[in-house]
Structure 1
Amino acid sequence: MRKHFYFIIAPLLVSLFIYLFYRTEKTIVNEIAIRIISFDTYTTLRNAVNRFLPLSELIIYSLPEGLWVFCITLTSRPYYIQFKNVRINGAGLPLIVCIGLEIAQLLHITNGRFDLVDILISLICWFIAVFAADDKLDKQNILTSLDGKRMVCLFSYGIVYLSHVLA
């Protein structure tokens, strides 16, 4: 995972940038930023960034999820989850989570709007992460004792909470 460090951090920082300056201020990460720097400062920065660097809706609303799926795929590749007789490859988990979140939006279980484009972008990013990186390590059960790499993997899934929109 160490050799993938920059391939994990860079997309997460791009997603953070998009969330901070282009998504609603009601997301948890933006609420945190507003509490740190004040609403007025946040609004001034946001407006300046939007004027300087306008982005398409596809980039604003679909790319961050795809980048997140790319990152969690890289962090999940060395692992699997075992439930009784069912073994799920860690590289497949991001697709399950991504599609599950979109279905939760479709059923109005969570905030957001179901979008097939989000799934398509996530699928493309997942393919890139799965097929671009080598996979010569033996898979380990993620649910065994925690070490630093497992914690990074689990944390990368938890990051999605920061994109949650508060009602």
Structure 2
Amino acid sequence: MRISPLDQQDADIDWFAVDAEGHVVHFSSGGGPLPESVAASEEDLLTLHQYFLLLPETADAAQVQPQTNAAQSGRSAESFVRYARRGLFSFDKTQLHEAADRRYHLVARPAWPLTLAELPGPVAALLLRTQLSFSAADTPAADIAGVG
């Protein structure tokens, strides 16, 4: 089932993508619009969400710290650090509930990044629907306006 624009506006939705280097990236929508590739299937998004939350923390999880701009949106960094401990770069929407603004900022960086090559085929296939043109490792802030 598709995630409606109204549901996107009313919720803070965790969604996932793969960056230009094959790293897995987490975003928290903050009431903003989702890329169409994400909004197309609530079931597929739930599959990815469950998969990543059930991953064990990496061996270097204790090294994960919030970035200097972590509190830019005014929210706690803990949920973002949780994803980074599992190997995902984790971004938050900079202007919460601003539909026209599609900017995000990096909140937590993994000590050991998870890559697409490490994922089971079905999970990787779902993730490949949403590809980023930039490297999350080199991007403290990102505009996702062009993400499909």
Which range, TM-score by smaller chain? under 0.3
The answer to which structure has the higher helix fraction is: 1
Q: Which has the higher strand share?
A: 2
TM-score by length of structure 1 reads 0.25
The structure having more radius of gyration, on CA atoms, is 1
Q: TM-score, normalised by structure 2?
A: 0.27
